[in-house]
């Protein structure tokens, strides 16, 4: 039977400032960054702060001119992806807050608060893009897609059902399973959509929107890294939950998620978007599913053993990294392409 999670106390005079465990531990809840349990927490805190951005920084002028010039297929795909992202990031804000309630460690809890704030910024960015490009009526329609698109409904319920189980029955086991769903949401479900925007950018289309997507993508990579660390720390402190059943759950859940993502990609991308083939996108999704499963500690090539061992969309790596500052990456005349590595999520398996 899975151990029930206890919510963090607002203050505990009898407990030390440094937490005794990441969940179900003791902590005064006073945060002293010079005395925290996990050595990775402060460096991650600094990186998340350094990446602070808002949609207001991005000039949408050129995109406003270009959007009517996109093909009908490109316009439809553009709007459907924005609709999907808006729903998932809204869910993510709430999930991060619920997760934070059960994190004993005050430094990790602080990171979750920053993560939730970044998800709010992401959601604002979709409104910002849409308000720049389409009338209010169309914007409202896009924000309703999640209720009417059958494939969107299936994808969304897949995630929300996993989150809901944790919300209604907060236990160590359900927390671990919800983190698998989180990594799927932030590290797999967005990725065919990201590929679409980056493909537009490499064809000098909708560059401002793609820059904004790039900032979101960068945040999501850090969020996946944070949840990966939480997952591993919980298992390290509660090894009885590191079972073959959990591993099999993760593999099957990543596989189902990838299948849903491929179905979605077939609808929005298929073979109708110049520069992207469905074969490459499908292989990219399978490659990413294997990558994420391995990142969680379960091993390589377990979700799709026949998937490529190298990223089939190698060009995309250059569009997923922002050079250490907040310059407009896509409009730089000289780009410093970041080498693919485990840190940025696209090393060779």
Tokens of 170: 């907060």
What values do phi and psi take at 171, rounded to 5?
Answer: -130, 170
- Residue 129: which residues within 8 A CB-CB, separation 6 or more? 55, 60, 63, 82, 209, 212
Nearest residue to 23 (alpha-carbon basis) of 244, 250, 235, 245 = 235
Q: Could you give the maximum distance between any two Cα atoms of the chain, in Å?
A: 65
Judge whether 126 counts as a catalytic residue.
Answer: yes
Nearest residue to 328 (alpha-carbon basis) of 244, 164, 207 = 207
> Coil, strand or helix: which one is 4?
strand
- Residue 176: which residues within 8 A CB-CB, separation 6 or more? 231, 234, 235, 241, 246
- Structure letter (DSSP) for residue 54: -
Tally of residues, the chain: 349
Q: Which value, to the nearest 10 degrees, does the dihedral of the CA atoms of residues 10, 12, 15, 19 take?
A: 0
Determine the Cα–Cα distance for residues 307 and 313; give it in Å rounded to an integer. 13
Determine the Cα–Cα distance for residues 281 and 277; give it in Å rounded to an integer. 6
Distances (CA, A) of 174 to 8, 95, 183: 17, 13, 14
Q: Which one is catalytic: 95, 102, 126, 198? A: 126
Tokens of 199: 């493909």
**In whole angstroms, how large is the CA radius of gyration of the chain?**
20
Determine the Cα–Cα distance for residues 260 and 277; give it in Å rounded to an integer. 17
Q: For residues 276 and 196, is the Cβ–Cβ distance under 8 A?
A: yes
Q: Give the residue numbers annotated as catalytic, written as ranges.
A: 126
């Amino acid at each position: 039977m899975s151990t029930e999670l206890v919510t963090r106390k607002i203050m505990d005079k009898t407990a030390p400032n440094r937490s005794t465990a990441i969940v179900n531990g003791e902590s005064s809840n006073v945060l002293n960054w010079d005395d925290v349990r996990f050595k990775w927490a402060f460096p991650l805190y600094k990186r998340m702060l350094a990446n602070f951005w808002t949609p207001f920084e991005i000039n949408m002028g050129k995109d406003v001119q270009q959007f009517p010039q996109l093909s009908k297929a490109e316009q439809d795909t553009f709007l459907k992806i924005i609709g999907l992202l808006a729903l998932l990031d809204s869910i993510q804000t709430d999930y991060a807050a619920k997760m934070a309630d059960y994190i004993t460690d005050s430094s990790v809890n602080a990171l979750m608060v920053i993560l939730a704030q970044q998800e709010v910024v992401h959601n604002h960015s979709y409104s910002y893009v849409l308000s720049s490009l389409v009338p209010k009526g169309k914007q409202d329609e896009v924000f309703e897609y999640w209720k009417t698109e059958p494939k969107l409904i299936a994808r969304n319920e897949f995630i929300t059902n996993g989150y809901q189980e944790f919300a209604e029955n907060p236990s160590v086991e359900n927390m671990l399973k919800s983190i698998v769903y989180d990594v799927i949401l932030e590290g797999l479900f967005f990725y065919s959509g990201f590929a679409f925007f980056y493909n537009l950018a490499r064809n000098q289309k909708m560059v401002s929107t793609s820059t904004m997507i790039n900032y979101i993508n960068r945040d999501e990579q850090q969020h996946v890294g944070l949840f990966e660390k939480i997952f591993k720390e919980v298992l390290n402190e509660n090894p009885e939950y590191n079972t073959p059943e959990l591993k099999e759950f993760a593999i099957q859940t990543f596989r189902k998620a990838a299948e849903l993502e491929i179905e979605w990609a077939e609808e929005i991308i298929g073979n109708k978007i110049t520069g992207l083939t469905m074969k490459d996108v499908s292989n990219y999704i399978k490659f990413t599913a294997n990558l994420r499963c391995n990142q969680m500690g379960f091993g390589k090539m377990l979700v799709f053993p026949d998937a490529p061992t190298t990223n089939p969309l190698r060009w995309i790596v250059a569009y997923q990294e922002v050079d250490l500052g907040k310059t407009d990456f896509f409009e730089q005349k000289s780009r410093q392409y970041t080498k693919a590595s485990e840190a940025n999520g696209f090393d060779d398996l």
